[in-house]
Amino acid sequence: MLKLKNIHIALGDFSLTDFSISVEKGDYYVILGESGAGKSVILEMLSGFIKPKSGKIFFNNEDITNQSIQKRKIGLVFQDYAVFPHLNVFKNIAYSLRKKGFSKQEINTKVELVAKETGVFDLLHRKTTELSGGELQRVALARTLVSEPELLLLDEPLGSLDVLLKDSLRNLLRKLNKAGQTIIHITHDYEEALSLANKIAVVNSGKLIQEGKPSVVFNRPKSEFIANLTGIKNFYKAKYISSNTVSINGKIDIQAQTSEKKCEGYIVIPSDTIILSEKKQISSAVNNFTGIIQHIFPSRFGTEVTIDIGIILSVLITNISSEKLSLKEGKEIWISFKANSVKFIRKN
């Protein structure tokens, strides 16, 4: 459906370099990156507001690189909603239809249909100045969808909403996607990406760092940057030493189940697979170390503990386990984890 080939854009000190991605019909494609990574520039280019210095944009096998905004069957929902404050909800949604010369009956039918779909039907005669952030986001979405775009672009659509409103809008976006709407959604929030995307592209400083299914990108990050962005704590440079043994930064040896041979790469040790105990446990966990507790702090899923075992490990345990172990900073503690919980990622 959409192909970007070797796109290059130069805007002052920023540049998008050799950027190539493919989005298929029906995809929920999330572009993930920090502020200033180039995410909004990509959307503005797809919409036609910015022209690439070089490279091509193909949409349904047609070269639209230099096509005007009006001719593109692409809709963009801006981060700040950009609704017209002097028009009520109905007139906001109907604005583009009036510009295109649709009849009054056609406009009424189309507006009512998309208003029901987006949950703003009961707001049609309200002023936009009276609406909440979540309601404004739905109105902005309805105003874009009424033009029936083949590709919907979303600029941080959940960024300014509270938790309950985020859940509601996420459900709506999933519903639209399941109904066949192709979506490209940009965000800096990896949990948001994980909850919605079937494909993810991670960008940093105008470059594509990694692309693929969420399960691959989040479980097998190709760099420390991606690991940090996606919330992975225990990510280390590692080197194969011998059968099932890898060395972390030359400081500590870890047993890992891997078919890799004589190579360098990275390992990930999931925080919730590490067991803490006051004494060494007799179990199938072949990785056993003593360490000193550095920090203890509450987490959304329990208690997070950082422990120095020669490297700093982050461990996620339940609040009940934390209380039973009487954890405190400076205390010596045993940690253990199985070899099959360690993920080795070969360096390309």
Q: How far apart are CA 270 and CA 258, in angstroms?
A: 16
Q: Which pLDDT score is estimated for 54?
A: 94
Give mean pLDDT, residues 267-287: 89
Per-residue pLDDT at 347 exceeds 80: no
Identify the band that residue 223 occupies on the pLDDT scale cut at 50, 70 and 90. Answer: confident
**Buried-exposed string 133-153: b where 16+ CB fall within 10 A, e elsewhere:** ebbbbbbbbbbbbbbebbbbb
As beta bridge partners, residue 308 has 292, 312
Q: Could you state, in order of their start, the residue ranges of all structural domains in the chain?
A: 2-221, 235-346
pLDDT digits over 127-167, tens only?
998 888 888 989 999 999 999 999 999 999 888 777 778 88
Q: How far apart are CA 246 and CA 262, in angstroms?
A: 10
Q: Which pLDDT score is estimated for 348?
A: 63
Give mean pLDDT, residues 299-307: 89
- HSE of 20, CA atoms in CB hemisphere, 13 A: 6
pLDDT digits over 182-209, tens only?
999 999 988 888 889 999 999 999 999 9
Per-residue pLDDT at 66 exceeds 70: yes
Identify the band that residue 313 occupies on the pLDDT scale cut at 50, 70 and 90. Answer: very high
Nearest to 199 by CA among 213, 180, 181: 213
Kindly indicate whether the domain formed by 235-346 is annotated with CATH number 3.40.190.10: no
Q: Which pLDDT score is estimated for 224?
A: 81
Identify the band that residue 3 occupies on the pLDDT scale cut at 50, 70 and 90. Answer: very high
Per-residue pLDDT at 58 exceeds 90: yes
Q: Which pLDDT score is estimated for 16?
A: 93
Q: Which pLDDT score is estimated for 216?
A: 87
Per-residue pLDDT at 260 exceeds 70: no
pTM metric for this prediction: 0.81
Distances (CA, A) of 333 to 1, 82, 281, 322, 342: 54, 54, 11, 12, 20
Q: Which pLDDT score is estimated for 282?
A: 84
Per DSSP, the three-state class of 41 is helix
> Which residues contact residue 63 at a Cβ distance below 8 angstroms, ignoring those fewer than 6 apart?
56, 57
Per DSSP, the three-state class of 217 is helix
**SS3 for 66-89, per residue?**
CCCHHHCCEEEECCCCCCCCCCEH
Q: Which pLDDT score is estimated for 288?
A: 94
**For the domain 2-221, what is the CATH code?**
3.40.50.300
Burial of 322 (0-12, 13-18, 19+ CB in 10 A): middle
Give mean pLDDT, residues 283-305: 91
Task: Please give the share of the chain, as a percent, with pLDDT higher than 90.
Answer: 58
